[in-house]
């Protein structure tokens, strides 16, 4: 099974719709850097993702790990927030199979560094295609309404059309 490094957004959004467990099913190991832990668990106390991520770390399927390449983190911080910068650096260092990140600017930087990326929508698509969720449209609606996930109407329509053609 592949390994993943995650930024804050994907576990927050998936947790908000009760689907954080998909990460456990799809990845052998999920790593998060300290800035992501801080954003999700400490600063996010009482919000979606905080308790789920804390418990996942206790259970050992999400691992807290700091990137060693502080110079890379510093350079990335010129353009990105702390969680994105640390997650990208950690994914590069550990040659993670995938970086879980939803923000477009962070995704672009990661791709430019040769990293493979996916996010909340990609995880839900994979879950739908593997039969772990029965309705992609329903999950996308929950992502928008319950998790406050912003997605353009055009992209939303394109994604749910995948269910109609399946």
**How high is the pLDDT of residue 36?**
98
Tokens of 109: 């930087």
Same domain, 78 and 144: no
Provide the CB-side half-sphere exposure for 165 (13 A, CA): 6
Tens-digit pLDDT profile for residues 103-157: 999 999 999 999 999 999 999 999 999 999 999 999 999 999 999 999 999 999 9
Same domain, 115 and 161: no
Same domain, 138 and 89: no
Q: Is residue 125 part of a domain?
A: no
Confidence of residue 51 (pLDDT cuts 50, 70, 90): very high
**How high is the pLDDT of residue 166?**
57
Question: In the chain, pLDDT over 70 holds for what percent of residues?
Answer: 98
Confidence of residue 98 (pLDDT cuts 50, 70, 90): very high
Q: To which residue do tokens 């959004």 refer? A: 13
Overall domain count for the chain:
2
Q: Is residue 126 part of a domain?
A: no
Same domain, 146 and 75: no
Same domain, 18 and 94: yes
DSSP of the chain, one letter per residue? Answer: --EEEE-SHHHHHHHHTT-THHHHHH-SEEEE-HHHHIIIIITTTTSTTHHHHHHHHHHTSEEE---S-HHHHHHHHTTS-HHHHHHHHHHHHTT-SEEE---HHHHHHHHHTT--EE-HHHHHHHHHHTTSSS-HHHHHHHHHHTS-----HHHHHHHHHHHHH-
**How high is the pLDDT of residue 1?**
79
Same domain, 77 and 156: no
Average confidence score pLDDT of the chain: 95
Tokens of 129: 């295609």
Q: Is residue 164 predicted with pLDDT exceeding 80?
A: no
Confidence of residue 163 (pLDDT cuts 50, 70, 90): confident
Same domain, 142 and 99: no
Same domain, 110 and 139: no
User: In the predicted model, what is the mean pLDDT of residues 35-64?
Assistant: 96
Q: Which of 100, 99, 131 has the alpha carbon at shortest distance from 113? A: 99
Q: Is residue 37 part of a domain?
A: yes
Q: What pTM does this model have?
A: 0.94
Q: Is residue 109 part of a domain?
A: yes
Q: Is residue 127 part of a domain?
A: no
Containing structural domain, residue 161: 133-165
**How high is the pLDDT of residue 162?**
83
């Amino acid at each position: 099974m592949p390994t993943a490094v995650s930024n804050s957004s994907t576990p927050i959004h998936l947790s908000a719709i009760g689907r954080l467990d998909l990460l456990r099913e799809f990845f052998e190991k999920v790593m998060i850097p300290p800035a992501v832990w801080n954003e999700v668990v400490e600063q996010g106390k009482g919000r979606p993702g905080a308790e789920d991520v804390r418990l996942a770390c206790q259970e050992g399927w999400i691992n807290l790990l700091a990137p060693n390449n502080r110079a890379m983190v510093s350079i990335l911080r010129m353009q990105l927030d702390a969680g994105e910068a640390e997650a990208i650096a950690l994914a590069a260092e550990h040659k993670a199979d995938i970086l879980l990140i939803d923000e477009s600017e962070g995704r672009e930087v990661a791709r430019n560094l040769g990293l493979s990326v996916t996010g909340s929508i990609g995880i839900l698509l994979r879950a739908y295609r593997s039969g772990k969720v029965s309705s992609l449209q329903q999950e996308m609606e929950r992502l928008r309404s319950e998790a406050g996930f912003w997605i353009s109407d055009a992209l939303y329509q394109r994604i749910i059309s995948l269910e109609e053609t399946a």
